Structure formats: C-alpha cells, structure tokens
Amino acid sequence: MMTKEMEIILDSTNDGMMIIDKGGVVTFFNHAAEMITGLYKKEVVGKYISENFPETQLVDVMVHEEVAVDNFLKIGNKEIAIRRMPMHNDLGQVVGAVAIFRDISDLTSLSDQIDRLKEMQSLLEGILHSTQDAISVCDEKGIHVLINPAYTKLTGLSEKDIIGKPVTVDISEGQSVHLQALKKQKPVSNTKLKVGKHHKEIIASASPIIVDGELRGSVGILQDLTEMKKLNRELMLARQIIRKLEAKYTFDDIIACDKQMTDCIEKSRQAAKTPANILLRGESGTGKELFAHAIHNLSDRRYKQFVRVNCAAINESLLESELFGYEEGAFTGARKGGKTGLFQEAHNGTIFLDEIAEIPTSTQVKLLRVLQEGEVMSVGSTRSINVDVRVIAATNVHLEKAVEEGRFREDLYYRLNVIPIRIPPLRNRVNDIYPLILSFLNKYNQEYGRNAKDLSPEALRHLQQYHWPGNVRELQNYIGRAMVNMKLQDTLLEAKHLPKFFDSETDLSNNYVTSLSNKKIKVASLDQALKEAEKKIIEDALESHGNNRTKTAETLNISIRSLYYKIKNLGIN
C-alpha cells in the first residue's frame, strides 16, 4: 500500500507514472500521467489497464518478469518514451508492475531525448533492485558505474568492491565481456567466466551502449552456470523419462458411461494396483492399448518404463532378438556390440505385448521362461539376465481355440491370463457413442480448423444404429471424414455431412455373403466348408483391394500376420 507522502512525491515528478497490481488493475496514476495521456485519474484507477492502454504490454512485463527500457509508443498524437518493469515484494514475489513515461514529442534532437530519459535513472535504479538477473553497467572507459543486488548475490561482491573500479576487478578467470563489447562495439554473448570471491562459474553477455553514434558504455548480464547446468541435467533427465515413459493415457482419458464399460474400467483399476500379469481381450479398435497405458499409469511402476510391442508388426525372424536382445556376432547383420532387448529396457516397468497371439511357438518358449523365472537370455548368449517386468498382453483372437489347435502354448496362456479383462465392443455400449463423438468433434476442430459444437438428432440416430465392426477407432475415423464435409462456419454436424453409410467396406462384406450364398460348395465336412468359405472371402477381399494385403487385413479386421498365415495355409495364390 502506497503512503500519502509517497503519492505526493510521485505526483510532483514530471514523468508520468502508472502502477498495476498482480491482477492487471491500475492502482496509481499520477498527475503527469494525466497531462500526457489526456485521461483523468478517476477514468483509469481501479480499471484493467487493457481498457485504456491495451498497447502498453505492462502485464507481459509483469508475467515474464523482464525490464523493458527505451521503448516508444504513440498515445493519440503524442510520442511517448516508456520504461516498464515488474515490482517485487521483500520475498521476491511479483506484486505488480510500473510504467514510467514521458512525452518526447517536442524534443528537438536525439541528445535532448537521451538527457531527459537519464532523469528517469534514479527511479529505474530503485526498481532494478527487484530483477532476478545479475546486471552490471560500465562507462566508456570500462569503469563500473552500476550493479544490482542480484549481482552482489551471485558474485559475493558489494557496490563498495565494484563501483568506480575497472570491469576486470570481479573476474577471477576469463576475459571481461564489457571490454570486448567496448572494443568491438558489438554484443558479446554466452562467455564463460569465473567471478567473485568464490570463483563462481557464470555465463556472461554484454552489449555496448551507443548514443547518437557515440560509445557511452556497456551493460552486462550474468547468469549462474552452476544453476544452468543443474537445470539442464534435470531437463535431460525429464526428456529421457518422457522418451521411455510413453504411457500417455490415464483412465480419465477413457470415455465411458455404459455400465459394461464402467465395470471394465473399475476391474482394470483394481488390477493396476497388483503386480499380476493382465490379458486384455477385445475386438480391434476397442481401445486395448488405451487400457494398457492407463493400467501402467495407475500402477506402482508408473514412473518407470512403459515399452510397447506390436508382435504382429515385427518379422518372425526378428521378434525374438527384439524382445530378448542379441550378442555381437549372434547372426549375420548383428549390430556391433549387440543390442539390448525390449524386456531389459522395460526392467522395473511394464511391457505391453499387443497381438500376443501372433508370437511364433519358438518365441513363446522364451517368453514363458521370462514369466516363470524372471530372466532373459539374449540370442547368442549363454548368460541369463534377471528382469522385473509387469506384462500386459492383448489380443482380438480366440486364444482358447488357438491353444486347442496347437498354435499357442497352454502354459503360456495361463501365465498371461492371470487377470483377464474383456473390453466390450462399441455396438454393446451405444450410450457411449454420443460422448465419444463430442470428444472427436473437439479433436478435429483443432486439427481441421472447424467449429463443430454438437450433432443433430438425425445424425446421432444414424450413428447409433450402425454396428461399428471397427469399434471406437472406426467411429473416430468416420467422424473425421464427416467433418471434412462441413463448412468452416458450421457448428452442427448434420446427417448431410455423413459419408455414404458406409462405403466399400460394408458393401464388400455384403458381397461376400451374396457370393457365398450363390455358390454351392461341395465338401465332405463342416470344417472343410468353413475353410472354403474363408478362402473365398479372402480371395474376394484381395481382388477388391488390388492385392494390397494391408488394406485387405484392415477390411477383414485381422492382423497382417494372420492374413499371411491364412494365405499360406489356405493355398491362396
């Protein structure tokens, strides 16, 4: 709170002065400010600064805690010189900001402007005491003329030690940036020095002060290198953690109001708090990976690594070496020095094995050993390495049938299936479709520059009636395509924006049924009939997609590895 005596003193100065509090409200506006701006105190005080002076940027100075000097702006037809700086309390906390300004419209020369601005120096020196940057100023002869308290705090040197003495007096190791700036008459940046009684490591920068083409001195800023190194180490550590802790989602990111889904989330929350392995079951696109992220982030391992592995995306011959690592020379093309496996990278953390049913039987044996013994053996090594890893596996395959057919080990199945969690398909949670759509509208508004706020009842009815074989992923992609059809000013997603219900994929599925119903299959058993039907469906899908196997797998809602397996097993050309 400013005293009455202080207000009288500040009102008598020729310089305009305006002070704002932390909320951006003007608390002081002196008589000179009234004269310069043409506004009365009662029109300004108690109002947000932006109402009368939106161009002052005084709030920015306060937020960024930076002193802005020697700036000019226009108020009406007047040219104003203005200096702005944040204000701090005794605890170093920002409590507001002050602007000191003067009408320089009538100045006849640049030298007159500099002379008048220098009259503000005494005020600025007081305010410089509040800045956190260590600042020193010297004259053109290299003699210190000004330092601030932050400088004393950093170097341990007082005004008595510095003022009136050469700029080299504070340096224990290195060359003065002031002398370099004076000599070159150019800024000097990021120079390492040791200063003060305790040989403090700093980074120093300096810029020459040139007035009307004449060198008048130099201003320097010093930063604590020790503190910067510490912050840099913390930043590097944070980046490493971010790279490794790639579990981006939590249960708060899962949109659900349907009871089936909320029950599934609750079971997953309980499972997350145990060390047990988890098997996520569900159709493609239901959000199994989202659940894996959320489980890890709620577990005791949330600050450790989260490693994601799509078992179907890695070539069979490489999967084992990727999971368990390999030694140098283990095989042709092996990296020099070998390679750490993904299980080792996930040590003390979580590994998410998506498409677990696609792991070849030879690799299943090694995976079982990890789960049973807690150890891995790199390819080409005879030495076991202990690992502590929580496994979350996921599949859209009927694993029990795979066990019966001998494609998946029964003992591995039981090791993974400690806590089974089945995520319901979207067609069984129709009540979740509307909130999911609202979430996707918000996402694509930002990406596509649209302004959709809601969707019409007719559009919602269409979307709720569809069975969504691709589940939430398909719904998200479909909403994205629909929003492309909207105009920028449209705020309502309507039925007219919806793409044809739905496209070639649905038509393709119908064609499969039609072609099969028109074809008489002569077979000796039901098993053979099913194989013939499956073969026909895959052949038609391949033909429809020009033999593009990736698109075919997506249409059939199976993994690319499963498609390759079926092509080979069914003898498809």
pTM for the structure as a whole: 0.51
Is there a cis peptide before residue 502, judged by omega within 30 degrees of 0?
A: yes
- Strands 350-354, 306-310: parallel, antiparallel or unpaired by DSSP? parallel
Q: Which pLDDT band, with edges at 50, 70 and 90, does 542 fall under?
A: confident
**In the predicted structure, residue 391 carries a pLDDT above the cut 90:** yes
Q: Are 264 and 280 in contact (CB under 8 A)?
A: no
Joined together, the tokens standing for residue 165 give: 């003495």
pLDDT at 512: 44
* pLDDT of 380 strictly over 90: no
Neighbouring-strand partners of residue 209? 217
301 vs 332, which has greater pLDDT?
A: 301
Q: pLDDT tens-digit profile of 12-44?
A: 888 899 999 999 999 999 999 998 888 999 999
Is 134-228 in the same CATH topology as 4-120? Answer: yes
pLDDT band at 503 (very low <50, low <70, confident <90, very high): very low
**Winning range, highest mean pLDDT, from 2-11, 212-221, 336-345:** 212-221
Q: Which of 125, 135, 156 is nearest to 222 (CA)?
A: 135
What is the CATH topology of the domain spanning 504-569? Arc Repressor Mutant, subunit A (1.10.10)
pLDDT for 370? 93
Instruction: Look at residues 251, 345, 338, 332 and name the one whose alpha carbon lies nearest to residue 304.
Output: 345
Q: What is the pLDDT of residue 513?
A: 44
Structural domain spans, the chain: 4-120, 134-228, 251-422, 427-497, 504-569
| pLDDT given for residue 377 in this prediction | 87
> What would the mean pLDDT of 71-86 be, rounded to a whole number?
81
**pLDDT value, residue 349:** 93
What pLDDT sits at residue 111? Answer: 56
pLDDT averaged over the chain? 84
Does position 522 have pLDDT exceeding 60, yes or no? no
Q: How far apart are CA 454 and CA 441, in angstroms?
A: 8
What is the bridge-based pairing of β-strands 214-224 and 134-139? antiparallel
State mean pLDDT over 345-349: 92
DSSP for 121-173? HHHHHHHHTT-SSEEEEEETTSBEEEE-HHHHHHH---HHHHTTSBTTTTEEE
Give the per-residue pLDDT at 276.
96
Statement: residue 299 has pLDDT above 90: yes
Q: In terms of Cα–Cα distance, which of 326, 295, 292, 294 is closest to 309?
A: 292
Residue 244 token pair: 């490794």
CA distance 257 to 259: 6
Level-2 CATH architecture, domain 134-228: 2-Layer Sandwich (3.30)
Name the one residue in this structure whose structure tokens are 């932006």: 50
Q: Which CATH class is domain 251-422?
A: alpha beta
SS3 26: strand
Mean pLDDT for 458-479 is 92
Per-residue model confidence (pLDDT) at position 495: 92
- For residue 243, what are the contacts with CB-CB under 8 A and spacing of at least 6? none
- Least confident segment among 387-401, 451-465, 507-521: 507-521
Beta bridge partners of 206: 188, 220
- The yes/no answer on whether domain 4-120 falls in CATH 3.30.450.20 is yes
The CATH class of 427-497 is mainly alpha
